């Protein structure tokens, strides 16, 4: 896909938005020209212990706390860290993986990467060398008719304190101007790669998941403004992707900046990290997804709205999902607000293994997949997290597809509230869970 075609946006539609649309949305995305259908290549350039526990296993139970890429390199030292990560970069995403993803009917990959690949500092333990491997993955994507979004997943000081920002702990991104400047330097580095591979890289995410509870939202928006200007001078045709900073959909209008063109709002929908979702029954998960559809559909008239991360997990039982050596809310092995398991006797045994799922569970997972695809395509599409994992099948798109638990291609839906008619979705109102 190249960025395709003009979207006719009528004056009436513009007038109906709560805020002015940021100039006509003049380009489209996705190989089919309608929506993004993709997966994340997580765990490649930003380590997460739960995705690749084999890389962290030697420190399980150790006094040496290795919990993220920062501590991975700090404990190993740069030479050994470089050696191990080089092997990892060569093997975690292969051309066979990319070819498989294309064969599943997807049209995009989202590639997370940390600031340290583009804006290194002697004060940080990270190592470099990612860029040749990033370009190799991009070239494979192009070869197999996929497009790519490059996602700045971690910034100096950490934008959220999560291990997936590169450094677990505090939220220090806005505490020093140098952090902001280096983040812009990283965005510009990504933009140069996007410009070099403009026929493949159609968008740049300027920061992943900035946490509103530890940051100034006005400061986040100021960063978005600066990033927009900086990378557009290098890659003028690339779409800018901004995250919703975990704000309520009622507050998304703050990101609709007058004068912006070709901007995607990225939102992430998981059902396992907050009590109201984790404690739901199966039909409630499906019904809640229909509510998510209303949010993305409603804002998609102002900024293209893409669900950049989602999964089929309904428990947080994946090993180390909540952090290295941490347990799960589901079975009460992680301290949380319920002070115990989700329900008496709740167990993590078999929760993340397709082999352990009975037919009722498998049917639900397929329904859950289709309901989420329906929901997020009422906006501008989706990226599943993740393309694969070492052990958590409910987060592993390739494995789910192999077992028929996600539709292949994604339009081949059985339980959908939509029907595909001449390459266009038309709503059908016989869904058990979603009602117009």
Q: Which residues are catalytic?
A: 209, 309
For 421, residues 6+ apart whose C-beta sits below 8 A from its C-beta are: none
Distance of alpha carbon 412 from alpha carbon 414, whole angstroms: 7
| Exposed e or buried b per residue across 152-181, where buried means at least 16 C-beta atoms within 10 angstroms of its C-beta | bbbbbbbbbbbbbbbbbeebbbbeeeebbe
As given in the structure block, the two tokens for residue 206 are: 């300027």
Whether 205 contacts 198, CB under 8 Å:
no
Alpha carbon distance 171, 261 (integer Å): 30
Q: What are phi and psi of 174, to 5 degrees?
A: -90, 5
- Orientation angle between helical segments 130-143 and 177-196, nearest 10 degrees: 40
CB atoms within 10 A of CB 216: 12
Cα–Cα distance for residue pair 266/121, rounded to 1 Å:
29
- Name the token pair of 307: 């669900």
Cα angle, residue 319 at apex, residues 247 and 153 outer, rounded to 5°: 40
- 328: tokens are 């799960």
Query: How deeply is 395 buried, as exposed, middle or buried, from its count of CB atoms within 10 A (0-12, 13-18, 19+)?
Result: buried
> Would you give the distance in Å from CA 4 to the centre of its chain?
23
How many residues would you count in the chain?
A: 436
Contact between residue 368 and residue 361 where contact means Cβ atoms under 8 Å apart: no
d(CA 146, CA 105): 10
Alpha carbon of 429 to those of 165, 376, 415, 433: distances in Å?
41, 17, 12, 10
């Amino acid at each position: 896909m190249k960025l395709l075609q003009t979207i006719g946006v009528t004056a009436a539609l513009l007038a109906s938005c709560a805020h002015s649309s940021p100039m006509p949305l003049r380009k489209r995305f996705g190989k089919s020209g309608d929506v993004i259908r993709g997966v994340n290549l997580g765990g490649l350039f930003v380590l997460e212990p739960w995705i690749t526990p084999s890389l962290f296993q030697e420190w399980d139970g150790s006094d040496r706390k290795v919990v993220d890429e920062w501590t991975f390199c700090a404990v190993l030292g740069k030479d050994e860290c470089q050696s191990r990560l080089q092997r990892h970069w060569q093997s975690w995403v292969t051309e066979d993986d990319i070819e498989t993803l294309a064969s599943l009917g997807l049209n995009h990959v989202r590639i997370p990467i940390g600031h340290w690949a583009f804006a290194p500092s002697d004060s940080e333990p990270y190592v470099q060398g990612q860029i040749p491997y990033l370009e190799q993955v991009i070239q494979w994507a192009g070869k197999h008719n996929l497009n790519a979004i490059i996602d700045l997943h971690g910034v100096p000081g950490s934008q959220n304190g999560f291990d997936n920002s590169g450094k677990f702990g505090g939220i220090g991104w806005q505490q020093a101007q140098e952090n902001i400047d280096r983040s812009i330097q990283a965005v510009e580095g990504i933009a140069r790669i996007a410009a070099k591979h403009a026929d493949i890289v159609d968008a740049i995410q300027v920061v992943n998941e900035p946490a509103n509870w530890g940051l100034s939202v006005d400061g986040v928006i100021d960063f978005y403004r600066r990033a927009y200007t900086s990378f557009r001078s290098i890659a003028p045709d690339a779409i800018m992707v901004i995250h919703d900073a975990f704000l309520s959909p009622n507050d998304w209008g703050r990101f609709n900046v007058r004068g912006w063109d070709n901007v995607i709002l990225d939102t992430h929908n998981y059902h396992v990290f907050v009590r109201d979702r984790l404690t739901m029954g199966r039909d409630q998960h499906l019904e809640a997804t229909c509510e998510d559809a209303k949010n993305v559909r409603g804002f998609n008239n102002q900024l293209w709205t893409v669900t950049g991360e989602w999964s089929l997990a309904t428990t947080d039982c994946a090993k180390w999902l909540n952090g290295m050596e941490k347990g799960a809310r589901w079975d009460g092995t992680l301290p949380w607000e319920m002070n115990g398991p989700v329900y008496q006797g709740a167990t993590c045994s078999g929760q993340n293994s397709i082999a352990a799922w009975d037919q009722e569970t498998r049917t639900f997972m397929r329904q859950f997949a289709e309901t989420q695809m329906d929901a997020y395509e009422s906006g501008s599409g989706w990226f599943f997290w993740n393309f694969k994992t070492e052990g958590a099948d409910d987060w592993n798109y390739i494995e789910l597809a192999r077992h028929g638990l996600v539709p292949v291609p994604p339009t081949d839906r059985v339980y959908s509230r939509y029907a595909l008619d001449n390459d266009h979705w038309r709503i059908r109102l016989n869904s058990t869970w979603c009602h117009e």
